[in-house]
Chain A
């Protein structure tokens, strides 16, 4: 919507919009973040005055916007600027080498690694929500993918077959969810919750039954990394980040682009969206609401299970009871933050991945409790939800069972 407006308006008009309160408030938020960033590598500015003055500038921008009726963003700018100054002063008190260890290229890699499983589940969530089905069972589907993936990989000795196994498990759980919510028209949230419980009980039972106290074998085949040619690895910044990413990370980047194209640029995507917005109208023009919804929910199960597979035999190498650890729910939040758009959701996953990566790296360097830092992604989800909701609209028919005419 905004892009169409922008393209049609003359340049002068667009320049004037830059001085609107909204733009100033966004500038204030940016200045607040900059205040913190200046205290970090590669800048590592030690003079306290610089982040304070940049942060204050941001706060003033927020205040200016606040007084011109841009309440929400204005308050955000002031809050972010205040936090930015505080964090910058804290960072200036640390010695340079430990800052270097936390804030480095490794942080970008860690962000991508933590974001990958989230993004698989989030893209899955977008498909089922776009079709009008709420799926809070993503968590359980990830867990199922994690267990059955590593089980098949260990049995066959092939990580490819392991991924296939995970996908079959995810599809099965997706089918169960679809059967109960679409055909049986049961409450979608209750069924999703039951799916999580079912996956928790089933994987826990089979895990103990098959592997006993020793756990999964240590020689499970792992999902390999893609090693880039040397000339790419030599490029500064790009090399260390993209040199050795997991197959799954590359796969999710492809899937994000692909799902954007499918949802917004193909007839199937149009059908999917129409079923989620107005199923009766969709059926009137000959679209099978049930088929589309079944397909979308099963696909979401497959995608979530891929995320689970990455957790168990991607960056880990073993399975543990309840190892999905709430990632399916963070993925749901990412769907909302990303406004039901694959690229937006991927961005939200990167944000949460960054929080996890930062928490992990701070544990080693700063003297902060690992457990306390582990709350960071969840707190961030809460804060982000407060900031975005109201400007993020779900598909109209989401959550409602459809009765075929």
Chain B
């Protein structure tokens, strides 16, 4: 695998300005860049970016008169990931409930991240994960509240199938527009997001076609008990951990196999690497664009049904407005560098952040939860900013050398080489 492939794909089109790595003598930047492209570097940049993002986020917390260390500690305590909380009998129950919550949130994040990563490998930036997720939610609710009398297992399969189909359609529209008229996927998927948001609010608003029996609440009926996903035997509490988490991990395997072991995956990667060369090699570029976005939509739609059948059971217009699963999925994919393991770890990080900052977990005396939600958005943004910028890490490294606390400053970083 080349170094180029490890980076987030650039905008399609030949990069004429980039120096040719074959003939140009390697500058300091390039050699460091090459090191970052290795296995160690592939981990080092995301980790360094995350640390840097938390540092900058801490500055904002400190600037608004709160104690950043206390805030981060409180958030971490609420994630259920602290092994120390499992020692004492009293804490264990609470910590176990927190961990379940983290894993419940982890599930859709993995899937929406795959939706972004798959399109990324085809050279496209799918910002439409949110819309594809939402139409999946609507389809699951529609099927889950109708077809009564269907055997449970079959009913679940139909609901999940409907969600996947809805996601395929929503992603496919953007794919067709890209393949036929060349409409940029960033704009079309964002428009489709808004259409899904307002369209969904229309479906479930007061008097809307799918509004539930309670006339005063803009919310769907809860899905039938028959379509509820089974929970893990050991899970407890009001929101037990459903088996969807296994589905999302299986999806990571499917994603990796699909991309690396099938003709479709080869074509998708070839188009993402260089559409012109792929076309010359006999690959239908338009078909790859369409399939990549449709499959991306399938993963995001699946996330919608797992959320509905696993623990939410009902959707209100308010939920549609505040949902950000698809957007967080973008951050997960970028931090995870479109790799299955990376997505797994990054989704765990963001799920933990979300659980830890939720109003239920956080003591308002330590750090106000309504601020913490925005803090986690802020940290996500900073992580994306830093992780997309390999040169920044190189730059900071170089500055450290220049300032004389990282060994002799032999070579100046040539950022403008």
A interface with B by C-beta (< 8 Å): 134, 136, 176, 180, 183-191, 193-198, 200-202, 204-206, 208-209, 213, 279-280, 326, 329, 332-333, 336, 369, 371-372, 374-375, 378-379, 381-382, 385-386, 389-390, 397, 399-404
Contact = CB atoms under 8 A, between A and B. Distances in A.
Given A372-B202, A386-B183, A202 B15 contact: no
Contacts of A136: 186
A187 B8 contact: yes
B202 A371 contact: yes
B378 A205 contact: yes
Contacts of A372: 198-199, 202
Interface string B328-349: 0011001000000000000000
B259 interface: no
Given A193-B330, A382-B177, A385-B181, A329 B15 contact: no
A378 B371 contact: no
A381 B188 CA distance: 8
Interface stretch (B134-142, B147-155, B263-271, B382-390): B382-390
Interface in B61-109: 64
Contact of A382 (B188, B334, B390, B415): B188
A363 to B, nearest CB: 12
B58 to A, nearest CB: 13
Given A209-B64, A369-B208, A385-B188, A193 B127 contact: yes
B315 to A, nearest CB: 14
Nearest to B369: A208
Nearest to A381: B191
Dominant SS among interface residues on chain A:
helix
A217 B364 CA distance: 24
B17 interface: yes
Contacts of A336: 184, 187
A200 B17 contact: no
Nearest to A134: B11
Contacts of B395: 184
Interface string B1-29: 00000001111010111110000000000
Interface size class of B (residues with CB under 8 A): 35 or more
A191 B389 CA distance: 9
Q: Which of B13, B15, B202, B373 has the most CB of A within 10 A?
A: B202
Given A205-B371, A208-B370, A280-B17, A403 B384 contact: no
Given A184-B392, A385-B177, 5 more contacts: A326-B193, A369-B202, A374-B198, A401-B10, A401-B15
A400 B15 contact: yes
Contacts of B188: 382, 385
Contact of A204 (B15, B191, B374): B374
Contacts of A385: 177, 181, 183, 187-188
Contacts of B384: 190, 193-194, 197
Interface of B: 8-11, 13, 15-19, 60, 64, 125, 127, 177, 181-184, 186-188, 190-195, 198-199, 201-202, 205, 207-208, 317, 327, 330-331, 334, 368, 370-371, 373-382, 384-385, 388-392, 395, 415-417
B374 A205 contact: yes
A186 B187 contact: no
Contacts of A209: 64, 371
B389 A399 contact: no
A189 B198 contact: no
A343 B152 CA distance: 59
A196 B187 CA distance: 14
Contacts of A180: 385, 388-389, 392
Nearest to B193: A326
B388 A194 contact: yes
Given A375-B198, A399-B13, A401-B17, A201 B191 contact: no
Contacts of A402: 17
Nearest to B125: A189
14 contacts: A183-B416, A186-B388, A187-B9, A195-B381, A208-B368, A332-B186, A336-B184, A336-B187, A372-B199, A375-B202, A381-B187, A386-B181, A400-B17, A401-B18
B371 A198 contact: no
Contacts of B377: 197, 200-201, 204-205
Given A201-B380, A369-B205, A208 B371 contact: yes
Contacts of B207: 369
A191 B388 contact: yes
A200 B127 CA distance: 16
B15 A186 contact: no
Contact of A200 (B125, B381, B392): B381
Nearest to B334: A190
A194 B11 contact: no
Given A136-B186, A197-B381, A400-B13, A206 B415 contact: no
Contacts of B330: 193
B153 to A, nearest CB: 35
